[in-house]
Each structure stands twice: as structure tokens, then as C-alpha cells.
């Protein structure tokens, strides 16, 4: 009797992609780790670390001038945004229906920096140092003024005799031409010598025991004042009774042309003056209206200072890249003979900063952008030595290919270091488990993401809110505050996003495989409106669409009968591929979404396949 033998089924294999981390641009798409993607635009990690579509953004206001800076400021317990648009300063309380309020016009229109101190906000425009404060006389409203016009007038000399002998008291203030000298009159002298040369005869004021004196003249060399009548001796012997206030040569431009700022040990430190690139200037304690003329430091040689970082009890001064000197110096507050000093010592050589606007602290780590990528300043817990380490290994190749690194802007938002550069954003994720790479000098690197279509000239975060300003004068906000699916659009335009697997050879690039129709699919994050397109690319083609599926949850708010499947289940959805892919050597799967007002997130991808013949 004839026997019929049932052919055995080919052995089935499976590749599973899960526990997704971020992008990897450091190597060829065929060599990346299965948990990372060589192509994943417009995704960000969710609360569990899985990739989901980023929130969209919308235009809030149009100012018709480039946005030079966006800053957070709290005045009288109320949060404000300070917006430097073109030559104008605006404040915005972020109250529904309220528009930004103009508080100053006619400023220098250039990229700006700012800092808050003692309830006020100070803005550096490169030509002016401005102060915003509360106007208590007219109610709790922001008020703006040029610091130069309200600077502290120092008492530079005390106990002076008419001939000029006395004691130095306060250093001259670089922000103002004005200074004061205090004399102890002898009752007979009419000539009183000053500690500087008078620059403006019309600004001299003299007070004797608190009363103004106007009967005097100035010598032709402007070095002393001659009174018509000799001022009397003080009523209390040895106590100063005459004060002369006068103007000298103006030095305010040295401070007003600074473009870099930081607050350390209760003082403001400014730098970035284009004529004094390696100098920084310290304010008086808690008083940025007072910059002592002896409070400057030349840091290293001529390599420009780019920014400041706080690292433990130190202030790190980061300079531009240089082969001639150190690129990081360290400042520490100390006491010497009862006086506070701020000595600077050499720190790290080699890696320097390229943008003064890309300094930010992620968790407790200061980060800055260099020509080689994003670097962090860290301290060895054993030796307490400071080191600079790479933190952006996975996106360094993309960063190095970008133009305009010197204009990049950064902020920290929701545990992410967000770097705005050109029309893109690059993100370092401080919330995910970090990975070891030798490029970080034996330490960790962050997982990374990248976003497209973000036309940010400057970017800033305030709490859970993320704002950016554009070259054409728009103030924009990421729509994290929008409860519905409208949050997933960029000013009404769809946000295309995708996650690609590696170009996977499934363990052998010399053996053909066939992906089976049954058992292959993806697990997608549930949204009220979502869809997914599956694209397959092998070594034989440039890619083709394999399937498309909508995945909506029933909601009256998002009802669309043309695509509704009437499910109320908000569990993750499994979408089968539904197609077979035959005889490939390498296979790359891309799941993507480009729907308007649609969310998207991916939890896992499973590929089931059989092995066939070898390459001949």
C-alpha cells in the first residue's frame, strides 16, 4: 500500500525588538543595538521610557522682530516670562486672554542673556544692562530701567584731608561715572583735592553737614575744588563733615557690552565683552548695580570665555576650544585676612564650549555644547578632580554635521536637556538608565532623541511648559497644556514620526530569510486617535509600505465614523503585519505615523521568519 509522508514544517525563528531606548547615529544602521533606532524623528520617551510622539507646538504671539531671548522671572510671587523681541522688552504673565506688555523699546537687537537676583531681573543685550523690577508705586506691575542710570555711587575715599590724604573705602563703580569723596575739614583750607579728575563740571555736588554748598570753583586741571569760604571744622572732632560727589571718565560700556552672565556666591559675574574676551567682572554682593573696578579677573590668555557652570562649591568658567591653554577654570569663594576673595585656578584642558547659549544643568550635571558634542562637568568622588566627559555619544555624528553650532540654544525640561539647533532639537534623556561608552572616559552617556520642524532661535522652559522664539518674531509654546488630540500638531500641521529597527540580518548576513505573514506584528500605545504605517526595507529595495491601520479608542470628543472601530479598550493594541516578505538578507522595519492630531507610541515589534538557502 502506497505511503504518503506529510512534509515537515520549516522551523520558525523569532526576533523581538523591545525595551526601546533612543536613537543611535554613531554607527551604520545594520550595527546599532536592537533597543535603539537609526531613524526615529519626533519621538520622546514617555513616563516608562518607551518612545512616543512628541507634543506639537503652536504660535502664541507675533512680534515681527527676531526673538532674542525668553526668560523666566518671578515678581512679587507671580511668574512672568520676559521676552526680548527685536529692540523691545515684553513681560507676559501667562494669563488667559492677556497679551505681552511692552515695558521698554529702543534696545540693541541681538541675542541676549539674563539672570534674576533679589526679586529683580537683569537683561544683557550686548549694549545695555537693563533691570526689571516691581513698580510698587503703580501697583504690582513690572518696571524697567537702565542700570547705568540707577547704579550705586560708591564712597571711594574717607577721612580725607584738604590736601588729599585719606583712606580708600569703596572701589569705583564701572557702571557709573559718579563717585563720592568724604573730607574732615580743618576750618582754614579752601582747596580740597579729589581722588580723581573731574570730567563734567556741571555734575559736581558738595554737602557740608548734610547741607548743599554752591559757592565754589574748580581748578583748571580739574583735580581740586576751591571754596569761596573755608568750610568749618566738624562739630565732632575727627568726623567727616564734607562730601563731594563728581563724575570721572565713563567705563560703563565695559559692563554693558557683556553678553554672558552667571550668579555665584551672591554676586553676579559678567563676561563676553568683545574687546575683553578673556575677562570677567564681579558685582558687589547682592547688588548688580555695583561693579567694582578692581573686581575683574583675567581668566587664562586670550581665548574667550563662553559660559559658566556651577559644580559643587565651585564656579566653572568654560572657555572656547584651545590648544594653547586650559579650557575650564575653577573659581571658589574664600576668605583672606577677613576679606572675601574669589581665586581662580586652572581646571581642565582640551574640550571647550562653542555656544554661550547652550549651557544648562540636567539633574545635577552641568552640560555645554562643544564642537565634538555635548559634554558634562563632573567630579571624581575619590580624588575630587574635575573632568569633562562626553554625554551625547549617540548623536555626536549628527551634531558635528550641523551648521551654526555657535547659535545653538539649550534648556532643561522634564528631565531632558533640549538643544535647539537650526530647525531641529536634540535631546539628552536624564530619566532613562544610562549606558557606558568608552567615549565618556569610562563613565556614562545619555540616551538621545531628535525632533524635526522646530524653528527655534532661542528656547526656554518654565516648569512643565516649554517655549521657543523664532527668527521671524513668533513666540511659540509646546502644546503640553492642550488636553485633546489637537496637541499633536505643529501650528495645524501633522507631525511625522517613526521608529526604525536596525537593518537586521538575524544573525547571518549570508543566509536568506522569509518573514511570515502570521505571527509578525507590533504593539502600539493606545490613543483616542492614532494610526500606524508599516514600511519594510530589504537589501534589494529602498523600502515599501506593508500595511496601514487605525487604532482609535471610542470617545465622543474625538468621534470620526469613517475610522471608528467602536472599541472602548484602552489597553495596548497589537497590529499584525498581515504580509509576507520573502528571501531577504537584511530587513529593516519602520513603524510610522503622520496623521494630523494623532498620537503614536510603540511598545514592541516581533518578526517571525524561516531560514532558507545561503548566498551563492
Q: What is the pLDDT of residues 541-585, one digit of tens each?
A: 888 888 888 876 544 454 455 545 545 556 688 889 988 999 999
Q: 270: closest CA among 312, 317, 310?
A: 317
Element (H, E) at 396: helix 396-400
CA–CA separation, 606 and 14 (whole Å):
7
CA dist 204 → 67, 169, 241, 312, 476 (Å)? 42, 20, 17, 47, 50
Tens digits of residue pLDDT in 208-229: 999 999 999 999 999 999 999 9
Residue 383: which pLDDT band, with cuts at 50, 70 and 90?
Answer: very low
Question: Counting runs of H as helices and runs of E as strands, what totals does the chain give?
Answer: 2, 53
Indicate the pLDDT class of residue 404, thresholds 50, 70 and 90.
very high
Q: Give the pLDDT of residue 556.
A: 43
| Per-residue pLDDT at 599 | 95
In the numeric block, the cell 540636567 is attached to 362
pLDDT in tens, 62-116: 998 999 999 999 998 889 999 999 999 999 998 878 899 999 999 999 999 999 9
Sheet holding 216-218, edge to edge: 191-193, 224-227, 216-218
Q: pLDDT tens digits for 161-215?
A: 999 999 999 999 999 999 999 999 999 999 999 999 999 999 999 999 999 999 9
Residue with cell 555645554: 368
Q: CA Rg, the chain, in Å?
A: 33
Question: Distance (Å, rounded) from C-alpha 180 to C-alpha 205?
Answer: 9
Highest mean pLDDT among 137-151, 322-336, 418-432: 418-432
pLDDT at 116: 96
Are 150 and 128 a contacting pair, CB within 8 Å?
A: no
Q: What does the alpha-carbon distance between residue 6 and residue 4 come to, in Å, rounded to a whole number?
A: 6
All three cell numbers of 190, joined, read: 579752601
Longest dimension (CA), the chain: 145
Do the Cβ atoms of 588 and 17 come closer than 8 Å? Answer: no
Positive or negative CA dihedral for 232, 235, 240, 241?
A: negative
Residues 107-131: tens digit of each pLDDT = 999 999 999 999 999 999 999 999 9
Q: Which residue has the higher pLDDT, 507 or 2?
A: 507
pLDDT over threshold 50, residue 381: no
3-state secondary structure of 20: coil
In DSSP notation, 88-129 reads: EEEEE---TTPPPEEEE-S---S--EEEEETTEEEEE-SS-E
Buried b (16+ CB within 10 A) or exposed e, 485-497: bebbbbeeebbeb
Q: Which three cell numbers stand for residue 441?
A: 572616559
DSSP letter at 255 equals: H
Task: State how far the Cα of 72 lies from the Cα of 296, in Å rounded to an integer.
Answer: 28
Q: What's the CA gap between 143 and 128, in Å, rounded?
A: 16
Residue 307 CA neighbour count, 13 Å, CB half? 24
Rounded Cα distance between 61 and 55, Å, is: 19
Which of 511, 550, 513 is CA-nearest to residue 529? 550
SS3 307: strand
Give every CB contact of residue 616 below 8 A, 6+ residues apart in sequence: none
Output 295-300 pairs: Cβ under 8 A, ≥24 positions apart.
295/171, 297/331, 297/342, 297/344, 299/329, 299/344, 300/325, 300/326, 300/329, 300/346
CA 273 vs CA 107, 125, 276, 304, 598: distances in Å: 17, 11, 5, 9, 48
Backbone angles phi, psi at 253, to 5 degrees: -65, -30
Query: Residue 211: helix, strand or coil by DSSP?
Result: strand
d(CA 460, CA 254): 28
Which tens digits make up the pLDDT trace of 430-454? 999 888 876 655 588 999 999 999 9
The string of DSSP codes covering 296-328 is EEE-SSSSPEEEEEEETTEEEEEE---SSSEEE
Tell me the pLDDT band of 387, cut-offs 50, 70 and 90.
Answer: confident
Q: Which has the higher per-residue pLDDT, 141 or 379?
A: 141
pLDDT of residue 367: 96
- pLDDT, one tens digit per residue, over 277-294 is 999 999 999 999 999 999
pLDDT in tens, 222-257: 999 999 999 999 999 999 999 999 999 999 999 999
Q: What is the pLDDT of residue 324?
A: 87
The string of DSSP codes covering 51-88 is: EEEPP-EEEEEE-SS-EEEEEEEEETTEEEEEEEETTE
- Set of cell numbers at residue 539: 537589501
C-alpha 594/C-alpha 222 separation (Å) is 75
For 399, the enclosing helix (H) or strand (E) is helix 396-400
Contacts of residue 76, defined as CB under 8 A and 6 or more positions apart, other chains included, come to 119, 134, 140
- Asked whether 490 and 107 are in contact (CB, 8 A), the reply is no
Query: How far is residue 423 from each of residues 66, 105, 454, measured CA to CA in Å?
Result: 15, 29, 5
Report the chain's mean pLDDT, rounded to a whole number: 91
The residues, ordered by sequence, that sit 6+ positions from 217 with a Cβ below 8 Å of its Cβ are 225, 226, 228
Q: Is residue 60 scored above 60 in pLDDT?
A: yes
Q: How far is CA 604 from CA 44, 50, 410, 525, 579, in A?
A: 15, 9, 31, 10, 18
Question: What is the pLDDT, as a whole number, of residue 385?
Answer: 62
Q: How confident is the model at residue 136, as a pLDDT?
A: 76
Evaluate if residue 271 carries a pLDDT over 50: yes
Beta-strand relationship, 602-614 and 544-550: unpaired
pLDDT in tens, 453-505: 999 999 999 999 999 999 999 999 999 999 999 999 999 999 999 999 999 99
**Residue % of the chain over a pLDDT of 90:** 78
Burial classification of residue 181, based on how many CB atoms lie within 10 Å of its CB (0-12 exposed, 13-18 middle, 19 or more buried)? buried
Nearest to 15 by CA among 408, 442, 522: 522
Among 350, 314, 348, residue whose Cα is nearest residue 332: 314
Cell of 432: 532613562
Alpha-carbon gap, residue 92 to 84, rounded angstroms? 11
For residues 274 and 290, give the distance between their C-alpha atoms in angstroms, rounded to a whole number. Answer: 21
Amino acid at each position: 500500500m502506497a505511503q504518503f509522508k506529510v512534509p515537515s514544517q520549516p522551523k520558525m525563528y523569532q526576533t523581538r525588538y523591545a525595551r526601546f531606548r533612543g536613537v543611535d547615529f554613531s554607527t551604520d544602521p545594520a550595527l546599532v543595538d536592537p533597543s535603539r533606532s537609526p531613524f526615529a524623528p519626533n519621538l520622546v520617551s514617555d513616563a516608562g521610557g518607551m518612545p512616543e510622539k512628541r507634543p506639537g507646538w503652536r504660535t502664541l504671539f507675533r512680534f515681527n522682530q527676531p526673538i532674542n531671548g525668553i526668560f523666566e522671572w518671578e515678581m512679587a510671587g507671580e511668574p512672568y516670562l520676559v521676552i526680548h523681541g527685536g529692540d523691545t522688552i515684553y513681560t507676559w504673565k501667562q494669563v488667559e486672554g492677556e497679551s505681552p506688555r511692552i515695558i521698554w523699546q529702543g534696545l540693541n537687537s541681538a541675542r541676549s542673556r539674563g539672570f534674576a537676583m533679589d526679586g529683580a531681573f537683569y537683561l544683557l543685550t550686548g549694549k545695555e544692562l537693563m533691570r526689571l523690577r516691581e513698580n510698587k508705586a503703580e501697583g504690582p506691575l513690572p518696571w524697567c530701567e537702565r542700570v547705568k542710570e540707577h547704579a550705586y555711587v560708591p564712597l571711594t575715599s574717607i577721612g580725607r584731608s584738604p590736601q588729599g590724604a585719606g583712606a580708600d573705602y569703596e572701589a569705583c563703580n564701572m557702571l557709573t561715572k559718579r563717585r563720592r569723596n568724604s573730607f574732615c575739614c580743618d576750618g582754614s583750607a579752601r582747596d580740597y583735592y579729589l581722588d580723581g579728575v573731574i570730567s563734567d563740571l556741571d555734575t559736581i555736588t558738595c554737602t557740608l553737614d548734610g547741607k548743599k554748598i554752591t559757592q565754589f570753583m574748580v581748578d583748571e586741571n580739574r583735580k581740586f575744588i576751591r571754596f569761596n569760604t573755608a568750610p568749618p571744622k566738624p562739630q565732632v572732632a575727627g568726623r567727616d563733615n564734607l562730601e563731594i560727589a563728581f563724575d570721572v571718565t565713563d567705563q560703563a560700556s565695559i559692563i554693558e557690552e557683556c553678553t554672558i552672565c552667571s550668579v555665584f556666591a551672591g554676586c553676579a559675574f559678567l563676561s563676553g565683552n568683545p574687546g575683553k574676551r578673556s575677562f570677567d567682572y564681579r558685582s558687589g554682593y547682592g547688588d548688580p548695580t555695583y561693579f567694582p573696578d578692581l573686581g575683574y579677573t583675567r581668566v587664562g590668555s586670550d581665548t574667550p570665555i563662553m559660559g559658566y557652570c556651577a559644580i559643587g562649591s565651585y564656579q566653572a568658567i568654560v572657555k572656547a576650544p584651545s590648544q594653547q591653554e586650559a579650557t575650564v577654570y575653577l573659581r571658589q569663594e574664600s576668605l583672606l585676612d577677613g576679606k572675601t576673595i574669589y581665586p581662580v585656578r586652572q581646571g581642565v584642558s582640551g574640550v571647550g564650549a562653542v555656544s554661550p547659549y547652550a549651557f544648562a544643568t540636567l539633574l545635577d550635571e552641568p552640560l555645554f555644547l562643544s564642537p565634538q558634542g555635548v559634554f558634562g562637568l563632573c567630579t571624581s568622588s575619590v580624588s575630587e578632580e574635575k573632568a569633562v566627559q562626553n554625554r551625547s555619544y549617540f548623536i555626536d555624528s549628527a551634531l558635528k554635521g550641523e551648521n551654526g553650532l555657535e547659535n545653538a540654544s539649550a534648556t532643561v525640561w522634564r528631565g531632558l536637556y533640549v538643544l535647539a539647533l537650526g530647525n531641529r532639537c536634540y535631546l539628552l534623556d536624564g530619566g532613562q538608565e544610562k549606558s557606558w561608552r568608552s567615549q565618556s572616559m569610562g563613565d556614562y552617556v545619555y540616551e538621545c532623541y531628535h525632533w524635526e520642524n522646530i524653528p527655534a532661535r532661542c528656547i526656554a522652559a518654565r516648569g512643565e511648559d516649554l517655549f521657543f522664539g523664532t527668527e521671524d518674531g513668533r513666540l511659540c509654546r509646546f502644546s503640553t497644556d492642550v488636553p485633546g488630540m489637537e496637541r499633536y500638531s505643529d501650528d495645524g500641521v501633522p507631525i511625522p514620526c517613526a521608529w526604525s529597527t536596525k537593518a537586521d540580518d538575524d544573525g547571518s548576513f549570508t543566509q536568506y530569510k522569509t518573514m511570515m505573514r502570521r505571527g509578525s506584528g507590533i504593539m502600539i500605545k493606545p490613543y483616542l486617535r492614532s494610526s500606524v504605517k508599516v514600511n519594510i526595507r530589504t537589501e534589494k529595495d529602498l523600502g515599501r509600505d506593508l500595511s496601514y491601520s487605525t487604532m482609535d479608542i471610542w470617545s465622543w470628543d474625538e468621534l470620526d465614523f469613517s475610522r471608528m472601530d467602536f472599541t472602548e479598550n484602552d489597553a495596548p493594541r497589537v497590529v499584525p503585519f498581515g504580509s509576507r516578505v520573502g528571501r531577504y538578507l537584511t530587513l529593516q522595519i519602520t513603524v510610522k505615523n503622520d496623521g494630523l492630531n494623532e498620537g503614536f507610541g510603540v511598545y514592541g515589534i516581533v518578526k517571525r521568519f524561516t531560514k532558507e538557502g545561503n548566498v551563492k
